Chains A and B, each alone.
Chain A
């Protein structure tokens, strides 16, 4: 179990940059907990504190009963940490990296091979290759293998899917799902809002604060606005006309549609007539369920 209480962290000479502004949350054993927000929101600072790599200014974090400041030696034994930037030894081979990390934690690759088998098998054909010469996707798989080889109780993954294409991202989350079944608690951060549904619970983070924390469905259920999707031709111009309407509170492009939030007393027919007057005759308007991205935007507007 992870128990985080009122963490604060600032950087710079006069504490100019506030990275974390009082973060509190708990993660149950065996849960996949996602911290979701844009770059610069504080995700990496939070994870580095939990990995005992930097110290908080105040507040506490207890992981499976161990304090991240006082018991940092124990913390490092029970966690597996995969930083955002590739940080394995570029000049060692795939196999050498893995053996190195196993040895460092006083274990062997054979002892915990079952944990990484699924992932490592995909890069095993290249086990003699230097880590620095691997492609992005293979580096990611090697980094995850190295983070798992000492059988951690808690896995901390800092933006494992940044810059990764949609298909490989899906595969990565499938791998995490299988690790969760092994009973590992997983704390993962991402800037991709669509990955929220793969977590048991999520926290939306912005400017060092959790602006919401719940199950993905719970966050969606709490959406406070009336949300419609508008479809038509000439999206850019359509967006302009929607913004000019005084009962339309916000309008943003969402793929091939425009999502708008509207005043409760606005009727779809009324908006259709307004758009028809502006020469948009083929417009379709329908109420829709929000995505986590809609929720994030409503919470930060």
Chain B
């Protein structure tokens, strides 16, 4: 039985009379690629903010990377990686400066940062771009770099919020191959996406509807249970039940 990197029980978040996240319970195993799906407004972002230690739950409990969501949220922040489509890197810093900055924020030594930077640029075949301002990189490259930076401090788990939005089809797939490599090295990947083909690449998928997790299983099992040909169809069947408007 592999270790659990996320374990939450009845996690709830209310804003006034509105229940954004409604008693969700689930766990994620070490090295797992976990897809976190849901319609706009279903509560994904709020749930993710609680898991990342930046928003306190109204009720419920849980641990992320071994730390308590309520009592040890500062430790959680230090032990996870995070990247999103909207913000990933500083556009006006060079490639190496971004790596230096994030390495420093997570407390790595100058020596470690220097060594790992060389290693990373080589792996990505990025050595030519060391001194390029990030804003001049094509989006697909930027996202690959952002992902590498998000796991630069070797967190136990990385949260990816729509990492491939707008990325070209071939690059999107290369990005997922990087996710697989990270998972093979034991890093747990928690990812949201609006591309339903990408839901298939996850080991397990949860689908949120109106603040609750309405389904959670492997993509194959979900397709079977909903008699659907694709995850797109599964998603449609579930999202159709949503009462809460976006």
Chain A residues in the interface with B (C-beta under 8 A) = 16-17, 37-41, 122, 135-138, 159, 162-170, 191, 193, 206, 235-236, 239, 252-256, 293, 296-297, 300-301
Contacts and interface: CB of A to CB of B under 8 A. Distances in A.
B38 A163 contact: no
28 contacts: A17-B136, A38-B140, A38-B167, A38-B168, A38-B171, A39-B166, A122-B245, A135-B40, A135-B41, A137-B245, A137-B246, A164-B40, A165-B235, A166-B194, A166-B196, A166-B232, A166-B235, A166-B239, A167-B236, A167-B239, A191-B165, A236-B177, A253-B176, A253-B197, A255-B196, A256-B200, A296-B168, A300-B169
Given A17-B136, A167-B239, A255-B200, 6 more contacts: A168-B40, A236-B180, A253-B200, A256-B230, A293-B169, A297-B169
B38 to A, nearest CB: 7
A136 B246 contact: yes
A165 B168 contact: no
B216 interface: no
B139 A193 contact: no
Given A255-B230, A300-B168, A165 B239 contact: yes
Contacts of A159: 166
A165 B236 contact: no
Given A252-B173, A253-B176, A164 B168 contact: no
Contacts of B239: 165-167
B193 to A, nearest CB: 10
B155 interface: no
A252 B139 CA distance: 20
Contacts of A38: 139-140, 166-169, 171
Interface string B180-198: 1000000000000010110
Leading 8 A-B pairs by shortest Cβ distance? A38-B168, A137-B246, A39-B166, A255-B197, A191-B166, A255-B200, A167-B239, A165-B39
Interface string B22-56: 00000000000000001111000000000000000
Nearest to B174: A252
B201 interface: yes
Contacts of A301: 170
Nearest to B138: A40
Contacts, number: 101
Nearest to B143: A39
A185 B73 CA distance: 52
B41, B194, B236, B240 interface centre (most CB from chain A within 10 Å): B194
A263 B103 CA distance: 46
Contacts of B85: 163
A208 B46 CA distance: 37
A16 B98 CA distance: 22
A256 B234 CA distance: 13
Interface string B83-120: 00100000000000000000000000000000000000
Interface string B206-240: 00000000000001100100000011100110011
Interface residues of B, number: 38
A137 B41 contact: yes
A162 B166 contact: yes
Contact of B40 (A136, A252, A254): A136
A297 B174 CA distance: 13
Q: Is the interface of A mostly helix, strand, loop or mixed?
A: mixed
Contacts of B201: 235, 253
B166 A252 contact: no
A165 B170 contact: no
Given A39-B166, A167-B240, A254 B197 contact: yes
A136, A159, A191, A193 interface centre (most CB from chain B within 10 Å): A191
B18 to A, nearest CB: 12
B162 interface: yes
Nearest to B162: A163
B170 to A, nearest CB: 6
Contacts of B236: 166-167, 170
A192 to B, nearest CB: 8
Interface in B145-180: 162, 165-171, 173, 176-177, 180
B139, B177, B197, B246 interface centre (most CB from chain A within 10 Å): B246
Nearest to B85: A163
A42 to B, nearest CB: 12
A164 B168 CA distance: 17
Contacts of B138: 40
Contacts of B240: 167
B170 A252 contact: yes
A164 B196 CA distance: 12
A84 to B, nearest CB: 10
B180 A163 contact: no
A138 B246 contact: yes
